[in-house]
Amino acid sequence: MAFHLKPVVLGVLLPLCWVQACMGLGRSSFPNGFVFGTASSSYQYEGAVKEDGRGPTVWDKFAHSFGKVIDFSNADVAVDQYHRFEEDVQLMADMGMDAYRFSISWSRIFPNGSGEVNQAGIDHYNKLINALLGKGIKPYVTLFHWDLPQALEDRYHGWLSAQIVQDFVTYADTCFKAFGDRVKHWITFNEPHTVSIQGYDVGLHAPGHCSVLLRLFCRGGNSATDPYVVAHNILLSHATVVDIYRRNYKQAQHGSIGMSFDVMWFEPMSNSTEDIAATQRAMDFQLGWFADPIFFGDYPKSMRERVGNRLPNFSEGESALVKGSLDFVGINHYTTYYTKANSTNIIGVLLNDSLADSGTLSLPFKNFKPIGDRASSIWLYIVPVGMRSLMNYIKQKYGNPLVIITENGMDDSNNPFISIKNAVKDEKRIGYHRDYLGNLSAAIREDGCDVGGYFVWSLLDNWEWAAGYTSRFGLYFVDYKDNLKRYPKNSVQWFKALLNSA
pLDDT value of residue 213: 57
Is residue 407 flagged as an active site residue?
yes
Q: Catalytic: which of 46, 153, 191, 318?
A: 191
- Determine contact, residues 412/423, Cβ cutoff 8 Å: yes
pLDDT surpassing 50 at residue 14: no
Is residue 87 flagged as an active site residue?
no
DSSP β-ladder status, 471-472 and 412-413: antiparallel
pLDDT surpassing 60 at residue 12: no
Mean pLDDT for 317-340 is 98
pLDDT value of residue 10: 29
- Residue 215 binned pLDDT confidence (cut-offs 50, 70, 90): low
| Residue 354 CB neighbour total at 10 angstroms | 26
pLDDT surpassing 90 at residue 17: no
pLDDT value of residue 13: 35
- Residue 353 binned pLDDT confidence (cut-offs 50, 70, 90): low
DSSP β-ladder status, 403-408 and 451-456: parallel
- Determine contact, residues 349/356, Cβ cutoff 8 Å: yes
Q: Collapsing DSSP states into helix, strand and coil, what is residue 473?
A: coil
Mean pLDDT for 289-307 is 98
| Residue 283 CB neighbour total at 10 angstroms | 26
Q: Catalytic: which of 153, 267, 407, 464?
A: 407
pLDDT surpassing 60 at residue 435: yes
E strands along 263-345, which residues? 265-268, 328-332, 336-341
Mean pLDDT, the chain, rounded, equals: 93
| Residue 94 CB neighbour total at 10 angstroms | 12
- Residue 196's contacts (CB-CB under 8 Å, 6 or more residues apart) are 227, 228, 230, 231, 234
pLDDT surpassing 60 at residue 346: no
pLDDT value of residue 219: 72
Structure-model confidence comparison of residues 47 and 16, the more confident one: 47
Lowest mean pLDDT among 107-111, 199-203, 254-258: 199-203
The Cα–Cα gap between 193 and 195 comes to 5
pLDDT digits (tens, 9 = 90+) for 155-177: 999 999 999 999 999 999 999 99
pLDDT digits (tens, 9 = 90+) for 358-392: 999 999 999 999 999 999 999 999 999 999 999 99
- Determine contact, residues 288/300, Cβ cutoff 8 Å: yes
pLDDT value of residue 15: 40
Show the CA angle centred on residue 390, arms to residues 357 and 365, nearest 5°: 60
Mean pLDDT for 57-84 is 97
Mean pLDDT for 485-489 is 98
DSSP β-ladder status, 485-488 and 185-190: unpaired
pLDDT value of residue 391: 98
CATH architecture for residues 30-500: Alpha-Beta Barrel (3.20)
- Residue 172's contacts (CB-CB under 8 Å, 6 or more residues apart) are 143, 188, 241, 244, 245
Domain spans, the chain:
30-500
- Residue 443's contacts (CB-CB under 8 Å, 6 or more residues apart) are 387, 388, 391, 392, 449, 451
Mean pLDDT for 106-115 is 98
pLDDT value of residue 23: 53
The Cα–Cα gap between 10 and 6 comes to 13
pLDDT value of residue 24: 81
Structure-model confidence comparison of residues 301 and 17, the more confident one: 301
- Residue 216 binned pLDDT confidence (cut-offs 50, 70, 90): low
Q: Of 90, 99, 93, 253, nearest to 179 (Cα)?
A: 253
The Cα–Cα gap between 207 and 157 comes to 9
pLDDT digits (tens, 9 = 90+) for 249-292: 999 999 999 999 999 999 999 999 999 999 999 999 999 999 99
pLDDT surpassing 80 at residue 351: no
